[in-house]
Amino acid sequence: MQKPRSMIIFTMLASLAMPVLSADKPLSLPDRLATLRTTITIDHGKMAGSGAATLLNAGLESQFVLIGEDHGIAEIANFSAAYFEELAKQGFTTLIIENGPAVADALEKTLKSDTGVAGIAAFNKAYPVATAFYKWQAEAQFLARIAKAAGPSFHLVGMDQELMGASKYLLDQMAEQPLGPLAKSKIEAFRKLESDDYRRASESGDPRELFMVKIKEEELVALQKLLTTPKEMPALAMLNSLIDSRSIYAKNMTPGQGYSSNTQRARLMKQYVASHLTLAPAQRMLLKAGAVHVFRGYNPLGAGSREIGNYLAEYAEGRGQKSLHVLVLASKGQQSQFAGIGRASATTEIEKVDTKSTMAGVLPFFAAASEHKEWSLFDVRPLLGSAKSLANGDSSVQGMIQGYDFVLVIPNGNATSDL
């Protein structure tokens, strides 16, 4: 039977179309990253490069802009300062940092007194091991630059537990509050004990010798029961912060309780930020913290681990706003790390990321950046809808695509120096 002319034409068209469709395969993740790659440079303290405007505009469209980082690398601090400085000039006057609220308040007062980096250095000298990361030159400069750019409206929010050496500052502040005689006597005894513990910790370098770690919880609870009057509530708030911080460290130093410590810490971060947002729900905020904290959705720390990055993403979305999550890592080089109480920071090689690493999902980005000497900025947003297929069964890569909007890869990092 002779085929109808229309059927013959349809068959011919179909046969012509098939090779075109089979050749039009979706691009692989390496190919997509190659097409999405732009550059960032820091020129005289300012962002430049082909990706600078895109990154800045994405920040200006958001209520929250978050940087997830690897600590102790000068280039990351310098980039963060350049980026956040521009945003601070455009109304982002609140900066959230990975420090406790009491110490953050002290740093804010120092920065507002216009003493800058010198003021931060003086605070660190008076209260060693009280600030996390801001005993480093590049990080202190980062704070000072953001405070200056934000102007009189600058506000520093501490979202973390107080650092293990912050007991001296907390106890000193408690001692200045109106107190009953029994509470005053107890706090003075604690201040003496804290001084002795710090001396021993400095001799050994062991943080487990510090007051916050050594003091028994029941002794702090006994003081808690003495602070009952309205005028003693500020002292009680500081004591409660000390108790919470001690609990997180105690779990962290106990085998098998690391996940519980991380969960408690993540909850505390959300509560501190939520408390601030209750007072200023529409405020535009900047945040800089360790990379795992900034993930949108589940992060790689453990099953069900959702931290401050996810909280702010959900909060912004619920208000019809956006959050922007930017990962900044150096693929190799050196970084500064804690080396013990009373010790200068150590300079170490940046830990190599492999398939077993917490941040294994960044490996395709490192590979895409490896042939370039410039800093490589990848706009991850176009990949979100295809995250599962692009990851090809690798959950860490899928989590990275879903967790961050931009990934900035610095080919070689340098350790920041102590103040």
pLDDT 10s digits, 167-188 = 999 999 999 999 999 999 999 9
Query: Could you tell me the pLDDT band of residue 301, with boundaries at 50, 70 and 90?
Result: confident
Q: Choose the final residue of a domain: 251, 267, 282.
A: 282
**8 A C-beta contact, residue 139 and residue 84:** no
Task: Give the other-Cβ count within 10 Å of 112's Cβ.
Answer: 15
What's the pLDDT at 128?
96
| pLDDT of 273 over the 70 cut | yes
Indicate if 152 and 293 belong to the same structural domain: yes
Indicate if 276 and 332 belong to the same structural domain: no
Of the listed ranges 33-42, 83-92, 296-305, the least confidently predicted one is 296-305
pTM beyond 0.85: the answer is: yes
- CA pair distance 102, 162, nearest whole angstrom: 7
Q: pLDDT tens digit string along 116-125?
A: 999 999 999 9
Task: Give the other-Cβ count within 10 Å of 321's Cβ.
Answer: 16
Q: Choose the final residue of a domain: 261, 282, 303.
A: 282
Indicate if 189 and 247 belong to the same structural domain: yes
Domain hosting 213: range is 161-282
What's the pLDDT at 107?
98
> Is 327 a member of any domain?
yes
CA-based end-to-end distance of the chain: 91
Indicate if 292 and 148 belong to the same structural domain: yes
Give the percent of the chain with pLDDT over 70.
Answer: 94
What's the pLDDT at 24?
61
Indicate if 32 and 150 belong to the same structural domain: yes
Q: pLDDT tens digit string along 21-38?
A: 345 677 899 999 999 999
| pLDDT of 19 over the 80 cut | no
What's the pLDDT at 168?
98
Indicate if 313 and 389 belong to the same structural domain: yes
> Is 83 a member of any domain?
yes
Q: pLDDT tens digit string along 368-403?
A: 999 999 999 999 999 999 999 999 999 999 999 999
Indicate if 155 and 299 belong to the same structural domain: yes
φ and ψ of 339, to 5 deg: -120, 5
Indicate if 103 and 136 belong to the same structural domain: yes
- CA pair distance 261, 45, nearest whole angstrom: 38
| pLDDT of 20 over the 70 cut | no
> Is 13 a member of any domain?
no
- CA pair distance 121, 127, nearest whole angstrom: 10
Indicate if 368 and 405 belong to the same structural domain: yes
Indicate if 173 and 278 belong to the same structural domain: yes
Total structural domains within the chain: 2
What's the pLDDT at 114?
83
Q: Choose the final residue of a domain: 282, 312, 346.
A: 282
> Is 209 a member of any domain?
yes
Mean pLDDT, rounded, of the chain: 93
CATH number of the domain bearing residue 296: 3.40.1660.10
Indicate if 223 and 138 belong to the same structural domain: no
Query: Could you tell me the pLDDT band of residue 14, with boundaries at 50, 70 and 90?
Result: very low
Indicate if 155 and 301 belong to the same structural domain: yes
What's the pLDDT at 303?
79
